[in-house]
């Protein structure tokens, strides 16, 4: 069975925020909630790196361990989802998550006033009937059930953000790393996209 993962190639991410926009639009995510965001390190300095971050769908997810109402779960495909009906908005998952993935619609507020947790679903909806109105309203579009990948990855213009089965993503990234080589350029086109096939020989 597939184990779904995201992989962001920091050599290719150009901080266009296409993934953020795609996610917001596809799931009609409300103001104040960002299921995905782009983080840039050393912004403006030559050699800066950007990375698109959302829920990483951890294999041993700390949010699942700390949820007091036990409403966060792993699907058989390795996607971390939650049942909003049982969420009490305590924020424990937010504190436990190393990526800041869990979001609350009412932002920083007192316990009980934050609203129900919202996070990236790997475009896999939630525990409602596939493609139902309730599923869309609570969790957003279920692209996985349509045989599609998360829109953020499919929209990525430089293919920095990849999504899918971990083993297959590793194959793609391994080929990239081989094409790039090592120490060719610190930053730039060749580092991001590698040599073409003839040159690589």
Partner 1 sequence: MKPRFPLRLPAAVAALLLLAGCSEEPQVVQYEQGKYQGKADSRPWEGGTFNGDKAAWERALHERVRSQNEYQRVE
Binding region for partner 1 (CB under 8 A):
2, 65, 67, 69-73, 75-77, 81-83, 85-86, 124, 126-131, 142, 144-149, 153-154, 159, 162-165, 168-169, 171-172, 175-176, 179, 196-197
Contacts 24+ apart (CB under 8 A), 63-71: 63/92, 63/93, 63/96, 63/97, 63/101, 63/102, 65/96, 66/92, 66/93, 66/95, 66/96, 67/92, 67/93, 68/92
Q: Using CA atoms, how far apart are residues 193 and 63, in angstroms rounded to an integer?
A: 36
Rank residues 15 and 154 by Cβ distance to partner 1 and give the closer one.
154
- The single-letter DSSP state of residue 103 is B
Q: How far is the CB of 14 from partner 1 (least distance, A)?
A: 15
108 or 147: CB nearest partner 1: 147
CB nearer partner 1, residue 49 or residue 159: 159
CB of 53 to partner 1, least distance (A): 19
Q: Which is nearer to partner 1, 37 or 179 (CB)?
A: 179
- The CB-of-145 to partner 1 minimum distance in angstroms stands at 4
């Amino acid at each position: 069975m597939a184990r779904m993962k995201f992989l962001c190639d920091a050599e290719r991410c150009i901080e266009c925020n296409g993934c953020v926009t795609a996610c917001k639009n596809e799931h009609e995510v409300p103001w104040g909630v960002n299921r995905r965001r782009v983080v840039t390190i050393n912004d403006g300095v030559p050699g800066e790196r950007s990375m698109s971050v959302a829920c990483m769908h951890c294999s041993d997810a700390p949010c699942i361990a700390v949820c007091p109402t036990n409403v966060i779960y792993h699907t058989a495909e390795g996607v971390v989802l939650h049942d909003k009906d049982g969420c009490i908005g305590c924020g424990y998952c937010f504190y436990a998550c190393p990526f800041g993935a869990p979001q609350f619609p009412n932002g920083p507020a007192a316990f009980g006033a934050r609203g129900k947790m919202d996070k990236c679903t790997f475009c896999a909806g939630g525990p409602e009937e596939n493609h139902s109105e309730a599923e869309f309203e609570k969790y957003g579009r279920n692209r996985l059930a349509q045989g599609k990948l998360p829109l953020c990855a499919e929209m990525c213009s430089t293919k920095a953000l990849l999504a899918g089965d971990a083993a297959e993503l590793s194959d793609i990234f391994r080929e990239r790393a081989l094409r790039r080589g090592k120490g060719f350029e610190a930053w730039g086109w060749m580092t991001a996209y590698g040599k073409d096939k003839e040159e690589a020989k």
